[in-house]
Amino acid sequence: MDAQCEVCYSIFPPIENPNRSGMLQVDDTHQLYWEESGNPEGLPVVYLHGGPGEGAPPSKRQFWDPDYYRIILFDQRGALRSTPLAEVKNNTTQHLIDDIETLREMLGIDKWLVCGGSWGTTLALAYGEAHPERCLGFVLRGIFLGTTDEINWFVYGMRLFFPKAHEDFVKWLPEEEQGDLLEAYCKRVTSEDRDVRQEAARYWVKYSGSCALLRHDPEGVEEQAADDTTMMGMGILDPYYFKHSMFLEDDQLLRNIDRINHLPCAIVQGGHDMIATPHAAYRLHKSWPGSVLNMVPDAGHSPMEPGTLSGLIQAFEVFKKTGDFHQP
């Protein structure tokens, strides 16, 4: 395990507008928002957002040096600016893997650096294992391997650390449905009644947000839950994917890790992350002999906590100099 860098890396200045953007039709139902910023001739990097329904807002452009990197962001099916919002039809991990390839081919990129956070780490690993020849390496933050244990921890186990948040997550449901929370939430977020979908989505997002930070930010949680676009995307697609085991076989990603563990990998993990626990990050690190693990001692799940943010930008800066993630 590498020691933490003593230099504190800062986020890059805002990029007000992308160089170009558009909507990519990937099937009869879904259109994906995509954008490109930074150096058009630079090293391509694609960012895979969390959720699955969170989306990649403009602030995510600031993780990379725009003079060096060709920065590709997109919103996955049903997320943020992609349409239809929160649509579960034809929305699986396999569809998303195909979408990433469709986007890469459309942009004329041969290989790219693949980055992701939370659910984005799940998707990054699944994509890499399907298309290792298209990957230069990986930067992964807040590892979530999509296993049954991790899903059960999110839905039930976090009550040990966040009892009030979990009580609020459960108590609005009828008592007879509280024994299977995923089933209860999925029934509601796929309801024909928009008000029912919206109520369930808001409770899901508030629970997730209440457990994400080392230092709780109640105003931030309320703000996220009040944003209808983010709330509907995350609150509907998250439980839908959880109910379907992320459309993966249990522990599939580690079983197939030999397809990509010859490539460079940086893992940045909040040491007190209660949503994507350090156990998953350590398992991945042990399965990836050349990987660099930065366990941030004073951080939870959010990429914007100072130590995690610095660790991410450090990884991208080191990759500029060395082509991997070991300090020169």
Quick: pLDDT tens for 72-96. Answer: 999 999 999 999 999 999 999 999 9
- Judge if 40 and 112 occupy the same domain: yes
> Known catalytic residue: 118?
yes
Catalytic one of 99, 210, 301, 324? 301
Query: Which of 186, 211, 245 is the last residue in one of the domains?
Result: 245
- The whole model's pTM is what? 0.94
Catalytic one of 131, 273, 291, 324? 273
What pLDDT is recorded for position 53?
94
- Judge if 82 and 42 occupy the same domain: yes
Query: Which of 205, 223, 245 is the last residue in one of the domains?
Result: 245
> Known catalytic residue: 279?
no
Closest CA to 64 of 45, 81, 36: 45
What pLDDT is recorded for position 10?
87
For the chain, what is the domain count? 2
> Known catalytic residue: 301?
yes
CB 67 within 8 A of CB 39: yes
- Tell whether 229 is covered by a domain: yes
Domain range holding 25? 18-145+248-320
Query: Which of 187, 212, 245 is the last residue in one of the domains?
Result: 245
- Judge if 228 and 260 occupy the same domain: no
**73: helix, coil or strand?**
strand
- Judge if 26 and 118 occupy the same domain: yes
Residues 137, 141, 146, 149, Cα dihedral to 10°: 140
- Tell whether 6 is covered by a domain: no
What pLDDT is recorded for position 6?
56
What pLDDT is recorded for position 2?
40
- Tell whether 1 is covered by a domain: no
- Judge if 166 and 80 occupy the same domain: no
- Give the CATH number for residue 30: 3.40.50.1820
pLDDT in tens, the chain (328 residues): 344 445 678 899 999 999 999 999 999 999 999 999 999 999 999 999 999 999 999 999 999 999 999 999 999 999 999 999 999 999 999 999 999 999 999 999 999 999 999 999 999 999 999 999 999 999 999 999 999 999 999 999 999 999 999 999 999 999 999 999 999 999 999 999 999 999 999 999 999 999 988 766 566 555 655 578 989 999 999 999 999 999 999 999 999 999 999 999 999 999 999 999 999 999 999 999 999 999 999 999 999 999 999 999 999 999 999 999 988 7
Catalytic one of 82, 118, 208, 210? 118
- Judge if 308 and 194 occupy the same domain: no
CB 320 within 8 A of CB 308: no
CB 231 within 8 A of CB 261: no
CB 145 within 8 A of CB 284: yes
- Judge if 137 and 275 occupy the same domain: yes
